[in-house]
A and B are shown apart, each in its own frame.
Chain A
Amino acid sequence: MQQNHHEETIPGSMWTLAVGVLVTVISLWVGKNLSWTMPEQASLQAPLVDNLFDILITIGTALFLLTDGAIIYALIKFRHRPGDETDAAPIKGNLPLEIFWTAIPAIIVIFLGIYSTDVFREMGGLEPPGHHMGGSHSEMAQVMTAPDPDNESSKYGVGAAPDKQNVPADLQVKVTGLQFAWLFNYPEAGIMSGELHVPVGKEVKLELVATDVLHAFWVPQFRIKQDVMPGKPSQMRFVATKTGVFPIVCAELCGSYHGGMRSKIYVHTQEEYDAWLEENAIAAKNQDAVETVAVNTQDLSDEEFLAPYSSDLGIDRDTLSEIKSLASAITETAYQ
């Protein structure tokens, strides 16, 4: 690996310097220009994740350029020349070099580990287990499949940011995942909905539980995801930073229709949110809870969504309402 370097020390080191500068510049540029690969940032966690990604890709690009560059250089420079029947010089190793290329990655990953832990804490990933959020679930009954969701809920998932850990969330929503829909229950307002509505800039805490199989709650614009499990409630806390409509994606295989298990999160201004709340609270008052579920979860967007697949999947209106009323029954047991 060294012979050339010994023969032409000065040009060699100049080349090394030039390669080093070039690799650094390209890697930094790549790291700074990744936003096109990601959806827009719409939560407090999103920029944290993206910054980490930038750093990972910057380091990764440098390693890629150096390693793959060295391979391609070696392929050209050290190719076998026709007629040459001898073997290469028998260099069996180089201890300082081997120590170097063990130590450098080790230092990089230790740095990454520390940085990553820090980002994770900022995101609320390390919120202490068993921490109780104050609030409105005193009346909540026990979920059939989970003896004590209240205690369990903050064990798993994304919790509050470090500076918010003693502050109760501004809004709590109980989320139920079931094949193949999401149900959102606003206990304080008595609203049940098939879509999630939250105010911008407020601390929102979702309490997630599944009734049948595993699902995963993912909002790509928020950069956070948490499995939704039967018998093991989990949580997700976030602050939406942008108004708009974003997809809610189920990310855990949950059956044949898994790809269709999508919903929407509406991030409103406070006024819009209050209006939505009022409108739906009145509707909820006029009917008993079960009917509300049936009405709200059969709203158009789901239907629209199903329409193209109805024939393939055999999911028609009847099946859908069957699913929905089943859902309402389950949810009733869970959250009455």
Chain B
Amino acid sequence: MTQTKPSQITVAGSVENTHANNGHSHPEKWEWYHYFWYNTDHKVIGIQYIVTAFMFYLIGGLMAMAIRIELFTPDVDFLSPEVYNAFMTNHGTIMIFYWIVPSAIGGFGNFLVPLMVGAKDMAYPNLNAIAFWLNPLAGAFLIGSFFFGGSQTGWTAYPPLSIITANTAQSLWILSIVCVGTSSILGSLNFVITTWKLKVPTMKWTQLPLFCWAILATSLLALVSTPVLAAGLILLLFDINFGTGFFRPEMGGDVVVYQHLFWFYSHPAVYLMILPIFGIMSEVVPVHSRKPIFGYMAIVYSSMAICAVGLIVWVHHMFTSGTPGWMRMFFTITTLLVAVPTGVKIFSWVGTMWGGKIRYTCAMLFAVGLLLMFVVGGIGGVTLGNAPFDLHVHDSYYVVGHFHYVLFGGSVFGIYAGIYHWFPKMTGKMLDERLGRAHFLLTFIGTNLTFFPMHILGLQGMPRRVALYDPQFAELNQLVTYGSMILGLSLFPFLVNVIWSWVAGEDAPDNPWEALTLEWQTTSPPAIENFDEDPIVTHGPYDYGIVKLNRTPAEVSE
């Protein structure tokens, strides 16, 4: 694979016609220290997002380890209950708002969308940089909250508990979430405009890579839902600090209104965490199966359908709350409907693999792992969507098992697949596939061992968010803790691989996977303004088997 260059991507090569140095001043290439400061290049920002998010992933992971050690025995013996609740709360907060959302949308979205649509950068590079730098600020608030005991009321922060517990920490927590929410709104705006306005004119909408469609759908969803969360949290902040009573029952406030505001955002947040991952899947699966994506339009429409229906399912988090029976049934039905477009996506990827020539690369392994486990998560989700069954398992470990299948087995596996797939493009270095396979195997085993038994625990009656539990649940909890240790171990081959490869790995060719989307038609890593010339798109992004790739240098025409 010394030189792989699809002849159909025509990059007009006349020297006179160059866009370089048209007034901007920037270095020839970014040095490592450029990544630690304000930078408006979408590729730098993308990598900043991923690396920052990964640091938070490690912190959130350590909290999870501590939680699992505590739960190894039924008694409170490792953490105090307050610290336990702080870890439980911030584990969830970090994994959602500081790891999955920023790495999937901010990280991959920023790095890939401009490249994939053939643009030089995002539409508003400065806005983009500001959106990123809100994240370290938010992180500082969050870490600061630990000096005041940490917020202890779950990532849901339901009042009245959140009004009466660790007020300073809870307020800092709210500020930090408002910061990441603002970041998300700014970023989403940028994605929508970039895709809409900066897509090269030769690329038809039906040739837009599915990852870009996914980011577009995600951004629209974030723009609609995030302000509602911000509103709810700011009202909560006022209740805590300024004597208002929006959610204080003794002042005539309503505790359930907060839950509606919260879940109106936070159910869609589930899609913010999975739609970009679906986008990654739609890129990784066809490339490594050497076959066009199966049902391109169906995948586009299903993303839009998930967004639309996803906005009217939030009460399924409130089936046991202050909601009347008719509302519980209405949202049962809308929730069940989400299974249809989600199923379409899964089946489309299986259809893509079917009849392909599947290469067992690490990116593909993680993508397949995701598929296998997302089915379990999806089925669990359908069961939970039924209010009558949810009356039993709501707020139990069944729910914890379910959403970890979706968010770990789904989102985190998708992020890993994305890292293995695009690391050569991002860094210009290849990852080691053997270490990658060890990483995959440990992660896959660990995930199932950790999160499957949780379903049983919940069915049998173990509530979630507890530091101490009935001794009858001890055995399964020990199994879960062993699983989580495997998950902890799984990070070592990955970290070694990434650090070693980045520093001293084999140089990556421009297109190591022989892919057809535009990001692979430039150098690895891409030059500062991505393409010498606006690329001219002459074929679809997944035309494997149609577009003949030139595999040896001798065959390169022109």
Contact = CB atoms under 8 A, between A and B. Distances in A.
A80 interface: yes
Nearest to B290: A87
Interface string B273-316: 00000000000000001111111111000000000000000000
B81 A256 contact: yes
B394 A251 contact: yes
A52 B389 contact: yes
Contacts of B543: 90
Contact of A56 (B164, B386, B463): B386
Please indicate which of the listed interface residues A87, A109, A119 has the most CB atoms of chain B within 10 Å of its own CB. A87
Contacts of B164: 212-213
A247 B160 contact: no
Contacts of B468: 259-260, 309
A127 interface: yes
Interface stretch (B28-36, B38-46, B179-187, B454-462): B454-462
A257 B461 CA distance: 18
Nearest to A219: B461
Contact of A232 (B82, B256, B339, B340): B256
B470 interface: yes
A117 B320 contact: no
A49 B71 CA distance: 29
B553 interface: no
Nearest to A128: B325
Category for how many chain B residues contact A: 35 or more
Given A81-B357, A120-B325, A56 B389 contact: yes
Secondary structure class of chain A's binding surface, majority of residues? mixed
A120 B160 contact: no
Given A89-B355, A126-B326, A214-B255, A60 B383 contact: yes
Category for how many chain A residues contact B: 35 or more
A52 B382 CA distance: 12
Nearest to A226: B320
Contact of A123 (B255, B388, B465): B388
Interface string A227-240: 10111101000000
A71 B383 contact: no
A323 interface: no
A45 B363 CA distance: 47
Contact of B375 (A63, A221, A313): A63
Contacts of A1: 294, 351, 354-355
B291 A98 contact: no
A230 B295 CA distance: 51
Interface stretch (B50-58, B150-158, B221-229, B523-531): B150-158
A100 to B, nearest CB: 9
B357 A53 contact: no
Interface in B358-404: 358-360, 368, 371-372, 375-376, 379-380, 382-383, 386-389, 391-392, 394-396
A238 to B, nearest CB: 11
Contact of B465 (A63, A91, A258, A308): A258
Interface in B517-551: 542-546, 549, 551
Interface stretch (B236-244, B342-350, B427-435): B342-350
Interface string A131-155: 0000000000000111000000001
B507 interface: no
A116 B290 contact: no
Nearest to B468: A259
Nearest to B346: A67
Contacts of A60: 379-380, 382-383
Interface in A92-113: 92-94, 97-98, 101-102, 105-106, 109, 112-113
Contacts of A145: 249-250
B154 to A, nearest CB: 5
Contacts of A177: none
A249 B320 contact: no
Contacts of B350: 67, 70-71, 74
A274 interface: no
A260 to B, nearest CB: 6
A286 interface: no
A313 B76 contact: yes
A198 interface: no
A158 B84 CA distance: 32
B160 A212 contact: yes
A202 interface: no
A232 B255 contact: yes
A317 B153 CA distance: 26
A75 B291 contact: no
A313 B81 contact: yes
Closest CB pairs A-B (n = 3): A231-B249, A259-B466, A220-B461
26 contacts: A37-B455, A52-B388, A53-B389, A71-B350, A90-B292, A93-B296, A93-B351, A94-B294, A98-B295, A109-B336, A109-B339, A109-B340, A117-B332, A125-B388, A155-B322, A218-B461, A218-B463, A225-B391, A225-B394, A231-B255, A232-B322, A253-B154, A253-B161, A258-B463, A259-B469, A312-B77
Given A64-B375, A125-B388, 9 more contacts: A3-B355, A49-B392, A67-B350, A67-B371, A87-B290, A92-B542, A102-B340, A218-B396, A256-B152
Interface of A: 1, 3, 37-39, 45, 48-49, 52-53, 56-57, 60, 63-64, 67-68, 70-72, 74-75, 78-81, 84-94, 97-98, 101-102, 105-106, 109, 112-113, 116-117, 119-120, 123, 125-127, 129, 144-146, 155-156, 158-159, 212-214, 216, 218, 220-221, 223-227, 229-232, 234, 247, 249-260, 262, 308-309, 312-313
Interface of B: 75-77, 80-82, 84-85, 152-154, 158, 160-161, 164-165, 249-250, 253-256, 289-298, 320-326, 328-329, 332-333, 336-337, 339-340, 343-344, 346-348, 350-351, 353-360, 368, 371-372, 375-376, 379-380, 382-383, 386-389, 391-392, 394-396, 455-456, 459-461, 463-470, 542-546, 549, 551
